[in-house]
Amino acid sequence: MRPMTIEKVLAVYKTSPMVLVVESSEGTVLDLSLTDLHGAGHRLSDDACTSLIEDYQIFTCQPVAG
């Protein structure tokens, strides 16, 4: 599979491993784990990245216990 740009995140399954259902800039719909996404060299568009953070809250900040 050649590297592509992910335009939209359609769904997130918080399984182990986590699976994203995404749409590429070409309109292809795929289900990928984060490892697959990174390993194949795919990139997230700014909108897709924002969606993971804001809509799906995949990446959150938590205070470090001191």
Q: How far apart are the C-alpha atoms of 50 and 44, rounded to whole Å?
A: 9
Query: Which parts of the chain are beta strand (E)?
Result: 5-13, 19-24, 29-33, 43-44
**pTM reported for the whole predicted model:** 0.76
- Cα angle 12, 33, 22 (rounded to 5 degrees) comes to 50
For 4-46, how does the pLDDT look when each residue is reduced to its tens digit (9 = 90+)?
Answer: 999 999 999 988 888 999 999 999 999 999 888 888 888 888 8
H/E element holding 52? helix 46-54
Q: Where along the chain do its domains lie?
A: 5-54
Least Cα distance to 24 among 50, 2, 6, 3 occurs for: 6
